[in-house]
């Protein structure tokens, strides 16, 4: 299970490097492509756990002048078929 994050920066906010460092401290790894970072869960997370992570992201980035979009996705059945 993974949670992807997209960060939208404003010109009056914190430097992108500061924002990405803060996200790294929460466990997000930088990535390229459609998202700016990914959090890899060590298990199938519950809805409450995903919301708790979102709460941590918001609290950590408060005052940095950014907006974020989070997307949490689990393993699909096709992933299981490919691996077995």
- What is the residue-level pLDDT of the chain in tens, covering all 84 positions? 999 999 999 999 999 999 999 999 999 999 999 999 999 999 999 999 999 999 999 999 999 999 999 999 986 444 444 444
Q: What is this structure's pTM?
A: 0.84
What are the domain boundaries of the chain?
2-76
Strand 29-30, strand 2-9: pairing: unpaired
Are 36 and 6 a contacting pair, CB within 8 Å?
Answer: yes
User: For the chain, give me the number of helices (H) and strands (E)?
Assistant: 3, 4
Determine whether domain 2-76 maps to CATH 3.30.70.
yes
């Amino acid at each position: 299970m993974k949670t992807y994050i997209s960060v939208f920066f404003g010109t009056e906010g914190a430097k992108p490097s500061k924002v990405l460092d803060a996200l790294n401290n929460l466990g997000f790894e930088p990535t390229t492509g459609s998202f700016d970072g990914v959090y890899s869960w060590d298990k199938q997370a519950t809805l409450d756990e995903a919301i708790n992570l979102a709460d941590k992201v918001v609290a950590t980035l408060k005052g940095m002048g950014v907006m974020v979009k989070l997307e949490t996705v689990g393993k699909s059945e096709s992933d299981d078929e490919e691996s077995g």
